[in-house]
Chains A and B, each alone.
Chain A
């Protein structure tokens, strides 16, 4: 079993829909990251969080440390949101990031 599990693996949505991507992890962490990888391959950091909730534009990330779970929400989705969304946790004991396998999101007009 992977230490970081994402669901769903693939997601197709219609423009305007509310989208949720989930991330569960099994290790103790000090921080969790959400990353976005566009079809061209580049990876950008969206959020780093260790508690509560963060919001940036139409993106919202939440984390529940007790349940070892995080969600990434996209409100009013748009085709330009189509990308792979990657969850990664910083396992303090290992001093390394552990990545999930990603969620491929396609938003259709």
Chain B
């Protein structure tokens, strides 16, 4: 059982380049989400999905796109990288619980630097 697999672990981009961060889970979780973590701030939600074909914006969606064509995969696309997108990115997944988030499983994180 691999859990949540997030790639790559490290990436350096030049301003204006695009890239895709990959996230896959093998637990049949409905809920998947992307966060960014910046110094002195809590994890902030970028985009999330409650099932295949359904995505929605989080707190800081600008500059990022997502899609959910399958239950397993939830890639995050940076359309035109900017230095402000230098951050550590986490993908997370969980079952949907009517009372709230169920136990969350996180990927190992991607440290992205935009120069």
Chain A contact residues, CB within 8 Å of chain B? 2, 4, 29-31, 33, 35, 40-45, 48, 50, 86, 88, 90, 92, 96-102
Query: With A41-B88, A43-B106 in contact, is A99–B101 under 8 Å at CB?
Result: no
Contact between A101 and B41, CB atoms less than 8 A apart:
yes
Query: With A30-B100, A90-B101, A92-B100 in contact, is A99–B43 under 8 Å at CB?
Result: yes
Q: B100's contact among A43, A45, A90, A101, by CB below 8 Å, is which?
A: A90
Contact between A33 and B109, CB atoms less than 8 A apart:
no
* A33-B104, A92-B100 known, 7 other contacts, Cβ within 8 Å: A35-B106, A41-B88, A42-B106, A44-B106, A45-B103, A45-B106, A101-B42
Measured CA separation A41–B106 after assembly (Å) = 10
Tell me whether B48 is interfacial, beta carbon within 8 Å: yes
Contact between B108 and A31, CB atoms less than 8 A apart:
no
- Complex A-B: 10 CB contacts under 8 Å: A30-B100, A31-B100, A42-B106, A45-B104, A48-B102, A97-B43, A97-B45, A97-B104, A99-B42, A99-B43
Tell me whether B61 is interfacial, beta carbon within 8 Å: no
- Chain B residues within an 8 Å CB radius of A4: 42
Chain B contact residues, CB within 8 Å of chain A? 33, 35, 40-45, 48, 58-59, 88, 90, 92, 97, 99-106, 108-109, 111
Query: With A31-B101, A92-B100, A96-B48 in contact, is A43–B90 under 8 Å at CB?
Result: yes
Q: A102's contact among B35, B42, B90, B100, by CB below 8 Å, is which?
A: B42
Interface of A is mostly: strand
Minimal beta-carbon separation of A9 from chain B (angstroms): 9
- Chain A residues within an 8 Å CB radius of B45: 96-97
With CB as the reference atom, state the residue of chain B lying closest to A90: B100
Query: With A50-B100, A96-B58 in contact, is A45–B105 under 8 Å at CB?
Result: yes
Contact between B100 and A35, CB atoms less than 8 A apart:
no
With CB as the reference atom, state the residue of chain B lying closest to A98: B42
- Chain A residues within an 8 Å CB radius of B48: 96
- Chain A residues within an 8 Å CB radius of B101: 31, 33, 48, 90, 97
Measured CA separation A44–B103 after assembly (Å) = 9
